[in-house]
């Protein structure tokens, strides 16, 4: 047994050596995050290390796994490769302890662990060879399965030799050599290669900027910018908080974000994966070569970066068109298994462009100016916001002093299309005898557009003005048909001292019908599909109420492949329509084609932006109807005598 245990003892020493090397490499990589600003966390004063580190296993096994498991093959692959590697290596290290090292059963267990790692490595290889899917990166990532197989397979041989004894000793030595080659290869990949995600990812889970995401919260509100800071927004990598830099290093380049990104699909120069790699490389002297898919129709840039050099600009790393292509739909964040916050990074970069350089896309200049000087992004008179309701009773809260439901109209009220929706909603409120009122000319823009375009100063002014207005009136809750206003008032005003109970009209109408305050008749009217607004579904997690409501209408409801929290954006968020960055296709065209592919004749929407974007599609289109319009049609079809409160 002594002769056979020699390679096994060597494996234990090898693992110890690898662990020491890995610690040095990881520590050196971690020191680079120190260039960043103080940690930014959306609650409390900073990173709660104790709670964060203790929560890592749970955050990994529950929250990360929940995302990874959307691709079951990848989940099994990762569980086997990572689990087998960690378990086997730990056991091999324990084998240095004499009584364990002499136990046959112990080495059988070790061999099993490495067998799992080998199978995992083989699955990684099968996914990447002979042909690599477009969303996965090449380069060092293509070498990863070879290293995994070498390390897992070699260590397996060592463990087998230790189990079976003398006849296999030469094989044990061969295995040790293979394990050494594979092991050192993997450690080398810790600094800039695929293995970086292992330690950066674990720390990212502990020091995450939005810990609420692991506790069932949506945690989607943008964090306020410090308007007293010497430099507003992020110009250089050193302007990011250090835990944001850590987050960029956690990326494993799985490409799920690029598959989900609407701007990428439309051929606009944005690829979330490439963006995160550019940001991760920006603070390193010799960033590893990127071997994934590029920005579509990439604009030329100089490619010069460094910890204290600008990130965005034609003479830097990222072209401005890239950050202005984002619709802030958060699809990339929703899909990211490493829980990276792409949208926060993009808005931070935009804040510097807008508030320090005044370098916004030409189309966004009037929007920002009017938001600032007319308190309305279209420059329209605030008193004209209620014009859509001509002939309908629309009491002002200033006249009533208080009401049960305050109706927040939003910028969509000026548009003819959304005006029809709001008319339907007001008519439904009237029929259900709701005590409602509007702010009228006292309602300013909620500031959503200015904030997503990086103009935090204008957003803060609008938020304070609206909060001051709302504080003068008594109401129980705010109803709105605009998910963008819903998100801003519900989730982003609390940071400015405004705390309100918000309800979207989909949930409100669902409530009214459930209580029997609106009588509807089921009216089968062909096949229908529901398009989830990003700011309702992904940002606020409200995907069920609209579906319940539609099902009450007795319609044949079918789902698009991408729906619920994974729905695709209509292209109307984040100021993208005014920034208007050229691509190959239009995002709403893609979404409408997806709706048509279900065979639906009608696409139900619940947001003024979605309605406007989808109605702008030409050719083979489904009819665009807001939930309020569909409900009103069903209520009007019901016998009048049953209508409540007429």
Q: Which residues bind other proteins (CB under 8 A)?
A: 227, 231-232, 354-358, 360, 362, 364-365, 368-369, 372-376, 379-382, 455-458
CA angle at 484 for the pair 519 and 344, rounded to the nearest 5°? 145
Kindly tell me which of 255 and 454 has the beta carbon lying closer to other proteins: 454
Strand partners, 312: 318
d(Cα 348, Cα 353) in Å, to the nearest integer? 9
In the complex, least distance from residue 372 CB atom to other proteins, rounded to whole angstroms: 5
Kindly tell me which of 189 and 386 has the beta carbon lying closer to other proteins: 386
Residues 6+ apart with CB under 8 A from 539: 218, 220, 330, 483, 487, 491
In the complex, least distance from residue 458 CB atom to other proteins, rounded to whole angstroms: 7
d(Cα 193, Cα 142) in Å, to the nearest integer? 11
Tokens describing residue 305: 């970066």
Tokens describing residue 527: 């096949």
In the complex, least distance from residue 441 CB atom to other proteins, rounded to whole angstroms: 10
In the complex, least distance from residue 485 CB atom to other proteins, rounded to whole angstroms: 20
d(Cα 158, Cα 107) in Å, to the nearest integer? 9
Q: Where are the beta strands (DSSP E) in 329-379?
A: none
Segment (H or E) for 626:
strand 623-626
In the complex, least distance from residue 37 CB atom to other proteins, rounded to whole angstroms: 17
Kindly tell me which of 19 and 382 has the beta carbon lying closer to other proteins: 382
d(Cα 435, Cα 348) in Å, to the nearest integer? 41
d(Cα 39, Cα 242) in Å, to the nearest integer? 6
Closest to 312 measured CA to CA, from 340, 350, 257: 350
d(Cα 325, Cα 576) in Å, to the nearest integer? 6
Kindly tell me which of 49 and 373 has the beta carbon lying closer to other proteins: 373
Contact 626, 506 (CB under 8 A): no
Kindly tell me which of 218 and 380 has the beta carbon lying closer to other proteins: 380
Kindly tell me which of 445 and 629 has the beta carbon lying closer to other proteins: 445
Kindly tell me which of 190 and 223 has the beta carbon lying closer to other proteins: 223
In the complex, least distance from residue 312 CB atom to other proteins, rounded to whole angstroms: 15
Beta strand pairing call for 436-438 and 502-504: unpaired
In the complex, least distance from residue 40 CB atom to other proteins, rounded to whole angstroms: 19
In the complex, least distance from residue 353 CB atom to other proteins, rounded to whole angstroms: 9
Question: Strand, helix or coil at 341?
Answer: coil
In the complex, least distance from residue 425 CB atom to other proteins, rounded to whole angstroms: 26
Contact 591, 552 (CB under 8 A): no
CA angle at 334 for the pair 80 and 454, rounded to the nearest 5°? 140
Segment (H or E) for 528:
strand 527-530
- 394, 404, 475, 643 from 389: Cα distances, Å: 7, 20, 21, 22
Kindly tell me which of 370 and 626 has the beta carbon lying closer to other proteins: 370
Kindly tell me which of 98 and 379 has the beta carbon lying closer to other proteins: 379
In the complex, least distance from residue 578 CB atom to other proteins, rounded to whole angstroms: 12
Kindly tell me which of 60 and 496 has the beta carbon lying closer to other proteins: 496
């Amino acid at each position: 047994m002594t002769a056979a245990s020699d390679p096994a003892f060597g494996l234990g020493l090898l693992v110890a050596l690898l662990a020491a090397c890995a610690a040095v490499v990881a520590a050196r990589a971690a020191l680079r995050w120190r260039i960043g600003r103080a940690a930014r966390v959306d609650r409390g004063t900073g990173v709660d290390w104790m709670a964060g580190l203790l929560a890592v296993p749970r955050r990994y096994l529950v929250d990360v796994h929940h995302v990874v498991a959307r691709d079951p093959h990848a989940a099994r692959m990762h569980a086997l490769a990572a689990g087998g590697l960690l378990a086997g290596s730990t056991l091999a290290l324990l084998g240095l302890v004499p009584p364990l090292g002499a136990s046959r059963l112990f080495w059988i267990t070790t061999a099993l662990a490495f067998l799992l790692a080998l199978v995992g490595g083989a699955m990684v290889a099968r996914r990447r060879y002979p042909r690599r899917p477009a969303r996965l990166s090449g380069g060092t990532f293509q070498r990863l399965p070879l290293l995994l197989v070498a390390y897992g397979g070699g260590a397996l041989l060592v463990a087998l030799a230790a189990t079976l004894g003398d006849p296999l000793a030469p094989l044990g030595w061969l295995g040790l050599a293979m394990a050494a080659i594979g092991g050192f290869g993997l450690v080398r990949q810790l600094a800039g290669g695929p293995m970086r995600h292992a330690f950066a990812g674990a720390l990212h889970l502990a020091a995450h900027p939005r810990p609420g995401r692991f506790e069932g919260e949506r945690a989607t509100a943008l964090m306020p910018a410090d308007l007293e800071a010497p430099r507003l927004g992020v110009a250089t990598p050193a302007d990011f908080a250090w835990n944001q830099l850590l987050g960029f290093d956690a990326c494993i380049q799985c490409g799920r974000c690029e598959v989900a990104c609407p701007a990428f699909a439309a051929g606009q120069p944005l690829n979330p994966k490439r963006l995160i790699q550019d940001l991760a490389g920006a603070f390193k002297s010799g960033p590893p070569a990127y071997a994934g898919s590029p920005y579509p129709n990439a604009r030329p840039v100089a490619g010069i970066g460094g910890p204290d050099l600008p990130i965005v600009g034609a003479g830097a790393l990222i072209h401005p068109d890239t950050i202005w292509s984002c619709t802030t739909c958060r699809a990339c964040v929703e899909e990211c298994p490493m829980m990276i916050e792409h949208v926060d990074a993009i808005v931070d970069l935009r804040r510097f462009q807008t508030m320090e350089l005044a370098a916004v896309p030409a189309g966004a200049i009037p929007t920002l100016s009017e938001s600032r000087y007319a308190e309305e992004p279209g420059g329209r008179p605030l008193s004209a916001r209620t014009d859509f309701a001509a002939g309908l009773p629309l009491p002002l809260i200033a006249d009533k002093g208080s009401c049960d439901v305050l109706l927040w109209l939003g910028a969509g009220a000026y548009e003819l299309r959304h005006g029809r929706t709001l008319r339907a909603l007001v008519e439904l409120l009237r029929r259900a005898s709701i005590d409602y009122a509007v702010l009228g000319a006292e309602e300013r823009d909620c500031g959503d557009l200015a904030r997503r375009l990086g103009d935090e100063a204008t957003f803060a002014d609008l938020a304070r003005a609206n909060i001051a207005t709302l504080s003068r009136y008594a109401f129980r809750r705010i109803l709105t048909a605009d998910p963008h206003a819903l998100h801003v008032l519900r989730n982003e005003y609390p940071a400015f001292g405004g705390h309100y109970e918000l309800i979207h009209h989909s949930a409100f109408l669902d409530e009214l019908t459930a209580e029997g305050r609106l009588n509807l008749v089921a009216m089968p009217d062909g096949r229908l599909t529901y398009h989830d607004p990003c700011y309702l579904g992904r940002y606020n997690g409200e995907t069920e109420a609209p579906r319940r409501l539609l099902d009450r209408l007795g319609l044949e409801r079918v789902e698009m492949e991408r729906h619920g929290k994974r729905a695709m954006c209509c292209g109307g968020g984040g100021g993208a329509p005014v920034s208007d960055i050229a691509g190959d296709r239009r995002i709403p065209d893609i979404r409408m084609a997806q709706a048509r592919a279900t065979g639906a004749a009608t696409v139900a929407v619940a947001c003024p932006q979605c309605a406007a974007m989808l109605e702008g599609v030409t050719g083979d289109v489904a009819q665009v109807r807001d939930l309020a319009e569909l409900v009103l049609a069903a209520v009007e079809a019901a016998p009048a005598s049953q209508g409540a409160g007429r």
